[in-house]
Structures are given as C-alpha cells and as structure tokens.
Amino acid sequence: RKEVEQDPGPFNVPEGATVAFNCTYSNSASQSFFWYRQDCRKEPKLLMSVYSSGNEDGRFTAQLNRASQYISLLIRDSKLSDSATYLCVVDDMRFGAGTRLTVKP
Amino acid sequence: NAGVTQTPKFRILKIGQSMTLQCTQDMNHNYMYWYRQDPGMGLKLIYYSVGAGITDKGEVPNGYNVSRSTTEDFPLRLELAAPSQTSVYFCASSPDGTDYEQYFGPGTRLTVT
C-alpha cells in the first residue's frame, strides 16, 4: 500500500457542480495534513490545511477521518478557475500523486 | 519579497555530465526540501534540511547530493546524469517542519539525453 493515495481522476465537471476528492494515508500516527493546488507547469501552492475538526474556506471544505485514515476536499459551486491538480500532503513531505480537476462551461 | 528562487529554469544535460541546481530563500526558513516530479506523478522527496549544516535523505536520494552551508541556500548536485533523472525539480522551504506551509520555487525542468 502506498503511503499516500489519491483518487486517480481525472474529474471533469460542469461549472457550478460540487466535487469531492479523497486521499488515504497508511501511517496511523500521521499528524499533519494539507491540500495543495498545482496549476499546469507551475509549482504547488497551499490550498488549505486540514484540521481534526474539519475546516472551511469559502467554497472549499476539508475533513479528516482518522478512524478510516483519509482526508477529503469538497469544492462547491465549481468555477472554471478551479481547474488544476489537487495534491494531498501528509506529514509535511509525503505527497499523493494528485487528482486532476477540469471544470467545463 | 522574492520567496524561493531556483536557477536555472531549464537545462539539457548529456548523459554523464554533472550540474548543480541552485535554490535560495529569503524568508529565514529553517527547513528546506528538494523534490522531483515526473510527468503525471506527485512529488517525491530527494533530500531535506532542518537547518544549516544538517541534511537528510528523502525517498529518492540516489544520484544526488546536497549541502546546506547557510540558512538561505540549498543547492542540489547531480553527478553523472542519467536519463532517469529527467524531471522537474522543485525546491521548497518552510519555517519549521510539520504543521507549516511549504513555499515552493518555480522549478527547474531538466532533460538528460
């Protein structure tokens, strides 16, 4: 089992749709979790941290399920500008392979 | 505020050549990292450093070397380049380790032929 695994994607959704990604991790002792966004041929940038109680930032909601060892990212009311690859990161240095999202008009 | 800078942006190497990828950060961050990203894949950690004079191997260190003589600089050395080292290389820094955002440089696209 890989240390960090993500939904393979790609996800192709219409504008305004709600889309969710999951990311599973293998180390039950993991302490920190993040979602990064990476645009084509660009560097990753932090989208949001994932806290134990879950957290929301505008249209984005991140949740952590320690019992099942996964984190999730929910995007509501998708915009064209949300098209990107979303990377989950566990314990600072363990990246998932990414989930590619394309939002279409 | 420049953040994390990397040079060069692009480079083509012949098999067996060597080169150094430069990385500099101006945020006084303790932690610095080197990752490689192959097409359609996530980032894999090559080396990291928790402060000047301290470096540690990551997931894929073979074929690379690093040094950290100052807080600002974290160069990555490729010795005897191989086609398998064709990739995009990202340098990143963070104030501390776990729980802190990593700030990435724009990357270096390396092709070994």
Let me know: does A13 contact A105? Beta carbons within 8 Å. no
For residue A12, give the nearest of A87, A88, A78, A98 by alpha carbon.
A78
Within 8 A by CB and 6+ apart from A41, the residues are none
Q: Evaluate the omega torsion of the peptide bond into residue B8 and state whether it is cis, within 30 degrees of 0.
A: yes
pLDDT at A7: 85
Q: What are phi and psi of A8, to 5 degrees?
A: -70, -30
Please check whether residue A45 touches B, CB under 8 A.
yes
Residue B89 is which amino acid? Y
What is the β-pairing status of strands B31-37 and B43-51? Answer: antiparallel
Nearest to B101 among A6, A42, A46 (CB): A46
Q: Token pair of A30, please?
A: 């993991």
As a whole number of angstroms, the distance between CA A53 and CA A63 comes to 7
B98: closest chain A residue by CA:
A92
Q: Say whether A82 sits in a helix, a strand or coil.
A: helix
* B100 min Cα distance to partner chain A (Å): 8
Using CA atoms, how far residue B41 sits from A86, A93, A102, B92, B105, in Å, is 12, 15, 17, 18, 18
pLDDT at B1: 66
Let me know: does B91 contact B46? Beta carbons within 8 Å. no
- Chain A residues within 8 A of B56 when measuring between CB atoms: none
Q: What is the pLDDT along chain A (105 residues), one digit of tens a residue?
A: 678 999 878 999 999 999 999 999 999 999 899 999 999 989 999 999 998 888 999 999 999 999 999 999 999 999 999 999 999 999 878 899 999 999 999
SS (H, E, C) chain B: CCCEEEECCEEEECCCCCEEEEEEECCCCCEEEEEEECCCCCEEEEEEEEECCEEEECCCCCCEEECCCCCCECCEEECCCCHHHCEEEEEEEECCCCCCCCEECCCEEEEEC
Please check whether residue A70 touches B, CB under 8 A.
no
pLDDT by 10-residue block (mean), chain B, 113 residues? 92 97 96 93 93 95 97 96 96 86 95 96
The angle at the Cα of A52, spanning A57 to A15, to the nearest 5 degrees, equals 30
Nearest to B104 among A4, A43, A92 (CB): A43
| H or E, element range at A74 | strand A70-75
pLDDT at A43: 96
Residue A43 is which amino acid? E
What's the DSSP call for residue A26? S
